[in-house]
């Protein structure tokens, strides 16, 4: 958390974090919309995973161009994919836990996305800026 704190104390870091939050909200909206649509036809855990994958693809390009003002590269894509692999596991475990303790299936994704956001920003900052 010390590195995140240092990033957020600079003006450029604050602007970058704001773009990250906006991009995250957009990507979360894509994730949630696909999840809601898919669950009309398939089970909720699979719907959630499909939503995540679709939002992942959208998120890579919006993160590259909008959040970090960089260009796509295989190295960044691999780093982005690795960070999202960790994030995906975090999402699945937290979503499963929410379902187990009886949190409403429409509220659980919002809780999960909020928890995962700060972890993801810290990882992606180093993928795109180092």
Burial of 12 (0-12, 13-18, 19+ CB in 10 A): exposed
pLDDT per position in the chain (130 positions), as tens?
A: 455 555 556 677 788 889 988 998 899 899 999 999 999 999 999 999 999 899 989 999 999 999 888 999 999 999 999 988 888 898 899 999 999 999 998 999 889 988 888 778 878 878 887 6
C-alpha dist (Å) from residue 23 to 15, 44, 46, 57, 61: 12, 24, 24, 13, 10
Query: What is the reported pLDDT for 17?
Result: 84
Using CA atoms, how far apart are residues 65 and 71, in angstroms rounded to an integer? Answer: 6
Using CA atoms, how far apart are residues 46 and 39, in angstroms rounded to an integer? Answer: 8
């Amino acid at each position: 958390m010390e590195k995140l704190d240092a990033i957020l104390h600079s003006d450029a870091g604050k602007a970058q974090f704001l773009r990250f939050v906006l991009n995250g909200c957009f990507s979360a909206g894509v994730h949630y919309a696909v999840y809601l649509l898919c669950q009309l036809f398939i089970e909720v855990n699979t719907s959630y995973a499909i939503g995540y994958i679709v939002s992942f693809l959208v998120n890579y390009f919006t993160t590259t161009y909008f959040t970090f003002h960089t260009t796509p590269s295989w190295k960044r894509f691999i780093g982005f994919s690795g960070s999202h692999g960790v994030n995906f596991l975090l999402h699945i475990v937290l979503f499963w836990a929410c379902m187990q303790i009886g949190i409403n299936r429409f509220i659980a994704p919002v809780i999960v996305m909020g928890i995962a956001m700060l972890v993801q920003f810290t990882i992606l900052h180093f993928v795109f800026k180092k």
